[in-house]
Amino acid sequence: MVDILGKPFDNARGRKLVATEFLRLGLKVDGKAKVYVGQIEVPPAKIGRALGVDRRVVIETARAIAADDRLLHIFYKLEPRAFMGNAARELGFDTIEIKADPKKSGIVAAVTKVLADEGVMIRQIISDDPDLFPNPVLTIIVNGKVSAKTIKLLKSLKFATEISIK
């Protein structure tokens, strides 16, 4: 996925870092090189401070994106999403985290089949992009608590290197 950033960021480590974070966080860039979380404009200085780069690097990154039609079409369509995983327990939900080889197919299908067969309702499912997250995790937030039987069935799946319930 990071390959889509292309030439504007090949030799600019700071700008590549900023653009990658825009992708990870779903930050939108418009044709005027303004950065948004949803409809809320985010000042470059705040982004720079959070990422440990100068605000000018953030501005240059947004300008490079706005100047490239292909990148602008991608970044203009990005949206942030609420991730409930860290707050699930307080909401009365369990979180299932699965680490597996992200290049294998059928992981989501196998896990959701087990959950469906056990009558577990999924509230949210997030699969980290392995190009954006060095240690990708499949996170599933489910209604209520996961039974011991369901946990055992999930742990029997061959592809998982680690399964945890939070």
Residues 115-156 pLDDT 10s: 999 999 999 999 999 888 889 999 999 999 999 999 999 999
Indicate the residue type of 140: I
pLDDT digits (tens, 9 = 90+) for 7-61: 778 888 899 999 999 999 999 999 999 999 999 999 999 999 999 999 999 999 9
Helical H runs in the chain?
A: 7-10, 13-25, 44-51, 55-67, 69-75, 88-91, 107-117, 148-155
CB 113 within 8 A of CB 150: no
Q: pTM for the full model?
A: 0.82
Token pair of 135 as six digits? 């240690």
Q: How far apart are CA 117 and CA 129, in angstroms?
A: 27
Domains belonging to the chain, first-starting first, are 2-75 (no CATH), 88-165 (3.30.70.260)
